[in-house]
């Protein structure tokens, strides 16, 4: 295979495919799919299955777990294959199109979920079609619950990654188009506090104030962070009490944990499990745990070097990498030992925000890069 000629032809074909890319992104954006709305996610999966079948020439495997719909295409044969990974669920509720309509103006594509990550899903389909057409064995897995922590798809993601030479994650880029070469691991916890109610005016001393205990625990949790190590332990949603004249009998605290390495993940987990009440008579219970392991720079270094060389051959801007605090399903693929490169999807910005957008001009080059990377990985393994 002549690598230079292959990359040139990939870029040429993706530029010619730009109208189709845009049309398919619009189709997916218009299929609103908030993670918590199972019916909406199922409808989105139906739309995506149709788009993918037309693009790839084969219907997907439809995998429904706990009512959530995930789609998988397996293309090509051979012992070596590459996993292209994404999700079709979004954070935007049904009806958002009325206030954030799909539009392409001034070189920017807009619409709920366009950047995170329906453009990336379409890019994965086009890259897979191009690579498979050149003999590559590719798996495309698009899940339906990534935005809520992948509760039903984690095992599926890990299973597909374990058999792959590499996992290429089509999540959107970091600032300026940077690839995501490291991601923090994430953990989510809930602390439930029990006290005793009493009349706040007549006999507050007979109560055990769960709200006061909550305040102690918020401070204790906050102290577990370590900025020097990049560890954040953030008290988030809190609640206590029922009425203004009653000593709170119960309180709750949610905790968001982000860490760069597994040692910190274990340390924080042990510290949270070891929390003890301060007030006499109060009790507390800690629930939750680690949601995703860290994606370390070591897991992505080899793939990033390959991608950077291919980008230069395609005439694309020099690639940069970024370590980010947000987690993705790439954390799972790296966690099972599969080389993983994330942030290969759309270039743009505004994920989960009103200014969400995709830069149209970057779509062909970025999609060609993904296809070229699939072929390069498999060529090195002797599989393409």
178 and 194 within one domain:
no
Residue after which a domain boundary falls, among 277, 292, 307: 292
372 and 356 within one domain:
yes
DSSP string over 130-197: HHHTTT--EEEEEES-GGGT-TTTHHHHHHHHHT-SEEEE-PPP-GGG-EEEEE-EEEEEEEEEE-B-
159 by Cβ neighbours in 10 Å (0-12 / 13-18 / 19+) ranks as exposed
In this structure, what token pair is assigned to residue 267? 């340390």
pLDDT (tens, 9 = 90+) of the chain, 384 residues, equals 445 557 789 999 999 999 999 999 999 999 999 999 999 999 999 999 999 999 999 999 999 999 999 999 999 998 899 999 999 999 999 999 999 999 999 999 999 999 999 999 999 999 999 999 999 999 999 999 999 999 999 999 999 999 899 999 999 999 999 999 999 999 999 999 999 999 999 999 999 999 999 999 999 999 999 999 999 999 999 999 999 999 999 999 999 999 999 999 999 999 999 999 999 999 999 999 999 999 999 999 999 999 999 999 999 999 999 999 999 999 999 999 999 999 999 999 999 999 999 999 999 999 999 999 999 999 998 866
Give the Cα separation of 27 and 122 in Å (integer): 10
**Are the beta carbons of 344 and 366 closer than 8 angstroms?**
yes
Helix (H) or strand (E) holding 335: helix 330-335
240 and 179 within one domain:
no
207 and 59 within one domain:
no
Residue keyed to tokens 């998988």: 72
Give the Cα separation of 308 and 165 in Å (integer): 18
Residue 190: HSE in the Cβ half-sphere, 13 Å Cα cutoff: 7
174 and 189 within one domain:
no
199 and 283 within one domain:
yes
pLDDT at 4: 54
Tally of domains within the chain:
2
Residue after which a domain boundary falls, among 242, 266, 292: 292
- CATH classification of the domain holding 140: 3.40.630.10
Give the Cα separation of 384 and 138 in Å (integer): 11
134 and 278 within one domain:
no
339 and 229 within one domain:
no
Residue after which a domain boundary falls, among 292, 321, 351: 292
Beta bridge partners of 363: none
80 and 159 within one domain:
yes
Residue 39: HSE in the Cβ half-sphere, 13 Å Cα cutoff: 2
Give the Cα separation of 329 and 146 in Å (integer): 7
pLDDT at 330: 97
- CATH classification of the domain holding 213: 3.30.70.360
269 and 189 within one domain:
yes
Structural domain span for residue 256: 185-292
313 and 230 within one domain:
no
The pTM (predicted TM-score) of the whole model is: 0.91
217 and 140 within one domain:
no
User: Per residue, what are the HEC states of 275-302?
Assistant: CCCCCCCCEEEEEEEEEECCECHHHHHH
């Amino acid at each position: 295979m002549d690598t230079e000629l292959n990359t040139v032809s990939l870029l040429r074909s993706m530029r010619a495919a730009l109208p189709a890319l845009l049309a398919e992104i619009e189709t997916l954006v218009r299929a609103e799919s908030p993670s918590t709305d199972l019916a909406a996610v199922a409808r989105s999966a139906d739309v995506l299955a149709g788009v993918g079948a037309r693009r790839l020439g084969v219907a997907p495997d439809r995998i429904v777990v706990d009512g959530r719909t995930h789609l998988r295409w397996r293309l090509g044969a051979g012992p070596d294959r590459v996993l292209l990974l994404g999700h079709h669920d979004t954070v935007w509720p049904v009806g958002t199109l009325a206030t954030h309509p799909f539009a392409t103006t001034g070189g920017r594509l807009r619409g709920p979920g366009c950047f995170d990550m329906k453009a990336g899903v379409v890019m994965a389909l086009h890259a897979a079609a191009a690579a498979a057409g050149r003999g590559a064995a590719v798996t495309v897995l698009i899940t339906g619950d990534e935005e809520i922590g992948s509760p039903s798809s984690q095992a599926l993601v890990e299973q597909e990654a374990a058999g792959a030479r590499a996992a290429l994650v089509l999540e959107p880029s970091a600032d300026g188009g940077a690839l995501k070469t490291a991601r923090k691991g994430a953990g989510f916890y809930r602390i439930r506090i029990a006290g005793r109610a009493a009349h706040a005016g007549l006999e507050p001393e007979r109560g055990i104030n769960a709200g006061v205990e909550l305040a102690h625990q918020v401070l204790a949790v906050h102290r577990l962070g370590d900025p020097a190590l990049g560890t954040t332990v953030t008290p988030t949603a809190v609640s206590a009490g029922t009425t203004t004249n009653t000593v709170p009998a119960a309180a709750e605290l949610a905790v968001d944990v982000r860490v760069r390495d597994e040692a910190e993940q274990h340390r924080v987990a042990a510290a949270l499990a070891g929390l003890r009440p301060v007030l006499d008579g109060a009790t507390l219970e800690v629930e939750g745990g680690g949601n995703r392991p860290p994606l370390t720079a070591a897991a992505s270094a080899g793939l990033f070097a390959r991608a950077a060389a291919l980008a230069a051959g395609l005439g694309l801007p020099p690639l940069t990498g970024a370590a980010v605090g947000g987690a993705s399903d790439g954390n799972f693929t790296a966690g099972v030992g599969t080389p993983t490169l994330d942030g290969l999807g759309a270039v743009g910005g505004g994920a989960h925000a009103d200014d969400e957008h995709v830069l149209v001009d970057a779509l062909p080059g970025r999609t060609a890069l993904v296809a070229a990377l699939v072929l390069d990985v498999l060529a090195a393994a002797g599989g393409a």
